Structure 1
């Protein structure tokens, strides 16, 4: 059997575990989501840097093709005639350092120096060439040693004639290849196997420091690519993760609190009772009441058992008080009423046979018990006498006495259970006008052993006889107790001496004089008497 404290603590512990698990889960999920979002954002920033750099350089190189197409027509024209035109073209672009005309592999006209006679191979070893080229090199004429970007436009397939355009790429790297920290720590322009890095000039190869990663994106319009070097997007996101912790903690605590509120019903004993009712885990038992003179069964008290598949057998001393605290005692009473009506054929069809059902004082508020009886009991047109048993431990003075009056008018008898154990005033006996007083088993057990309790028992018997109230003695276990009660005028007895609580289906067998089955559904039935 489970205790109330153990069950409540178990549900509380489960709720705390679920809430803590949800809070921790949300904390980790929030950090993971923030990490992934930050990583993706870093990758987008790195990609945006490379894309923007490529687009900018493409916008610089695009006019070179147009200029080259115009100027290449001047190849072979005397320098005195062509010089003015190529100077005008060079002046239109601030980034264009010079334009040179090459004939038979010889640079014979420059936009800066005018007429010249220099083999172009001395200036650029890979020129002349039969196909267009884009080269990274160093200036050997004007600003010697400075990086330049060379664009070659051949006149024909012979590769001996063409136009060479020199771009001031060092100025462009300062505008386009300056790193964007912390995402990009280095940016490198790659052209035809040569590399130009901002602040470092031309490089023969690109090295990547430990802990950093490189990404290379190529232009779709021109033969160059851009390499960006920096921390990985994941490392940057991980480094920034502690800054996301306060938000994640606040969110996790909020979700934990919401989970606590949301599980108030589903992870509580009230939810367990509702689930038990819906799954029909409860079962109604009965304990016979016998006439003290002839030992004939005059009625039964209906008792509720709960074989919870999740908790095992739960004592009524546990679930009844908890049900009262959770305002679920009325649904349990309705369940008992329904089960009683379904099994009316198990009981003698006699007006003298009474069926006792335990009810709570709270069920009397606003006439709720009358509404339930009209809905569940009276439609059955039962012949047996229904007795509602109120325990004295309930707040009997709070019972609506108008409801009591109406119950009497409807032919429903009223009994006070466990009489003598409460702290209420005896004045409510006159107000409630009960039909039956049930002597608590603690007084029955004291017969012959405890002088004080025996005296109280005598007082209760005398009080009931003077008020004209019928008496039922609970917990009769020995012949001596039965004899004492019989001699003192107690007419109805109830206890293990005659019968233990039994399933309703076993009652007809017992009534015929046979013992009911000692087991129920393959399991031993708890012997604890139930409310």
Structure 2
């Protein structure tokens, strides 16, 4: 059997486990979502940096093509005639450091130095070339030793003539290749087999440090690419996790609290009772009441038992009080009424046979019990007498007295169960006008052993007899107790001495075997328990 404390503790523990599990799951999902979002955001930032660098350089190189066409129009003119126009082109483009005109492999005019007469291959060994070229090199004329970007445009149908543009790559790199930490720690421009890194100049090759990754993006218009190096997006996302933890904790705790509130009913004893009713886990038992004179069965008390497959057998002393706390005692009572009516034929068809059903005081509010009797009991037209037993753990004065009067008019008897315990008051006898008092088993057990309780038992018996109220003694377990109660005028006995609570289907078999016992010297010999 389960105890109330254990059951409630189990439910609280399960609720807590569910809430903590969901909170932890929410924490993990939130951190995972933030991790994925940060990782994707980091990748997008790195890709955006690459695209911006490539696009910026393309925007610089596209006007160079137009400028080279304008400069070719000056080919054949004297340097004095062409230099002013070339300087205007340089000023207009800003990023171009110098424009040179090459004729018959001779660098003969510079926008900066004016007339010159130098073989172009001495300026740049790669020139002249029949094809347009874009390459990185070192400046040997103006700012010696600094990196430059060279753009060569040959004159059509001639590999010895062309326009050479010298671009200030360091100026471009300032807004194109400057790293954006923490996503980009290094950025390089790649043209052919040459590499330029912002802040370091030309490099023979690209090296990637351990723990870092590289991303390269090539231009679709010009023969160059941009390589960026930095921590992996996953590594950056992990490094950012501690900053996401406070928000994730708040969200997980909020979800845990909401889950605690949401499971208050579903993961509670009230939900378990409703589930037990829906799955037909409850069973109605009956315990016979026998006449103290001839030991014939004169009635039964219907008792509810619960074999919960999730918890095992749960004692009525556990689930009945909990059901009353959860306002679920009325559905349980309706179940008992329905099962009683369904099995009404197993009981003796006699108006003197009493069927007792335990009722909570709250079931009397607003005449609810009368409506349930009209719905379940009276349509079956039972011959047997119905007795509603009110337990004293309820606040009996709260019972609607109008309902009490209606029940008496309808022929339903009232009994005060466990009389002498709980909230006993003589005022109950006047306000409730009960037909029966059921002596609590604690007083029955004290017969012959406890002088004080035996005296109380005698007082209860005398009071009932004085008020002409019927008496039923509960918990009769020994022949001595039965003899004492019978000698003091208690007419109906109930207890293990005669029968233990049994399923309804076993009652007819018990009833068939409950013949009057033999007498010895004029006294009835009590029968032994059948179960």
**TM-score normalized by the length of structure 1:** 0.92
CA contact (8 A) 2:130 2:159 kept: yes
State the partner residue of 1:43.
43
Corresponding residue number in structure 1 for 2:438: 438
Query: After superposition, where does 1:14-33 map in structure 2 within 5 Å?
Result: 14-33=14-33
- Paired with 2:72 and 2:276, the residues of 1 have a C-alpha distance of 95
Cα distance in structure 2, aligned partners of 1:370 and 1:27: 53
Deviation sequence 1:289-328 (CA, Å, 0-9, x none): 1222222222111000000000000000111111111111
Superposed displacement of residue 61, structure 1: 0.4
Greater shift, 310-319 or 39-48, is seen at 39-48
Show the counterpart of 2:167: 167
Name the stretch that deviates more: 70-79 or 220-229.
70-79
SS, match of residue 142 in structure 2? coil
1:468 equivalenced with 2:468 (yes/no): yes
Matched residue of 1:348: which SS? coil
User: Superposition pairs for residues 66-77 of structure 1, below 5 Å?
Assistant: 66-72=66-72, 74-76=74-76
Q: Distance in 1 between matches of 2:512 and 2:137?
A: 117
**Contact map agreement 2:471 2:492 (CA 8 A) in 1:** yes
Q: CA deviation digits over 1:101-129, x for unaligned, max 9?
A: 22333223333333332221111111222
Corresponding residue for residue 277 of structure 1 = 277
C-alpha displacement at 1:447, in angstroms?
2.4
Aligned equivalents of 2:175, 2:98: Cα separation in 1: 20
Q: Tell me the distance in 1 between the aligned counterparts of 2:248 and 2:376.
A: 54
Matched residue of 1:299: which SS?
strand
**Residue 264 of structure 2: aligned partner:** 264
Deviation of the 1:69 alpha carbon: 3.2
Is residue 102 of structure 1 aligned with residue 99 of structure 2?
Answer: no
Q: C-alpha distance in 2, partners of 1:39/1:180? A: 16
Give the aligned partner of residue 520 of structure 1: none
Supply the distance in 1 between the matched residues of 2:340 and 2:257 (Cα, whole angstroms): 43
State whether residues 415 and 434 of structure 1, in contact with CA within 8 Å, keep that contact through their aligned partners in structure 2: yes
Contact 2:341 2:377 in 1 (8 A): yes
**TM alignment of 1:338-417, pairs within 5 A:** 338-417=338-417
Between 1:322-331 and 1:102-111, the stretch displaced more is 102-111
Matched residues in 1 for 2:90 and 2:485: separation?
129
Task: Please state whether the residue corresponding to 1:190 is helix, strand or coil.
Answer: strand
Alpha-carbon distance between aligned partners in 2 of 1:45 and 1:508, rounded to the nearest angstrom: 84
RMSD: 2.1
CA distance in 1: counterparts of 2:93 and 2:465, whole angstroms: 124
What is the match of residue 316 of structure 1?
316
Question: What is the deviation of 1:162?
Answer: 2.2
1:79 Cα deviation from its structure 2 partner? 4.2
The residue that corresponds to 2:301 in the other structure is 301
Q: Aligned residue for 1:523?
A: none
Alpha-carbon distance in structure 2 between the residues aligned to 1:159 and 1:514: 129
**1:89, distance to aligned residue in structure 2 (A):** 2.9
- CA displacement at 1:56 relative to structure 2: 1.2
Q: Distance in 1 between matches of 2:88 and 2:9?
A: 92
Q: Counterparts of 1:107 and 1:422 in 2: how far apart (Å)?
A: 119
Report deviation, 1:91: 3.1
Q: Distance in 1 between matches of 2:446 and 2:128?
A: 125
| Residue 407 of structure 1, CA deviation | 1.0
Q: Residue 522 of structure 2 aligns with which residue?
A: none
User: Compared with structure 1, are the counterparts of its residues 158 and 346 closer, same or farther at alpha carbon in structure 2 (3 Å cutoff)?
Assistant: farther
Whether the 8 Å CA contact 1:396–1:424 is kept in 2: the answer is no
Deviations 1:353-384 (A, max 9, x none): 22110011121122221122222222222222
SS in 1 for 2:187: strand
Q: Is the 8 A contact 1:292 1:486 kept in 2?
A: yes
- Write out per-residue CA displacement over residues 433-461 of structure 1, whole angstroms, 9 at most, x where no aligned residue: 10111111222222233333222222211
- Aligned position for 1:518: none
The alignment of Structure 1 onto Structure 2 pairs a total of residues equal to 517
Which range moves more in the overlay, 7-16 or 178-187? 178-187
1:493 paired to 2:486: no
Distance in 1 (alpha carbons) for counterparts of 2:285 and 2:349: 19
Counterpart CA distance in 1 for 2:239 and 2:100 is 52
Q: Give the C-alpha shift of residue 255 in structure 1.
A: 1.5
Query: Which shows bigger deviation, 324-333 or 76-85?
Result: 76-85
- Where does residue 62 of structure 1 map in the other structure? 62
- Counterparts of 2:486 and 2:31 in 1: how far apart (Å)? 77
| In 2, Cα distance between equivalents of 1:421 and 1:461 | 15
Contact 2:296 2:514 in 1 (8 A): no
Instruction: Return the TM-score normalized by structure 2.
Output: 0.92
Note if 1:201 corresponds to 2:193: no
Distance across 2 between alignment mates of 1:323 and 1:38? 51
**C-alpha displacement of 1:413:** 0.7
**Partner Cα separation in structure 2 for residue 59 and residue 393 of structure 1:** 91
2-structure distance, mates of 1:341, 1:157 = 114
Give the CA deviation at 1:418: 1.1
User: Residue 93 of structure 2: SS of its match in structure 1?
Assistant: coil
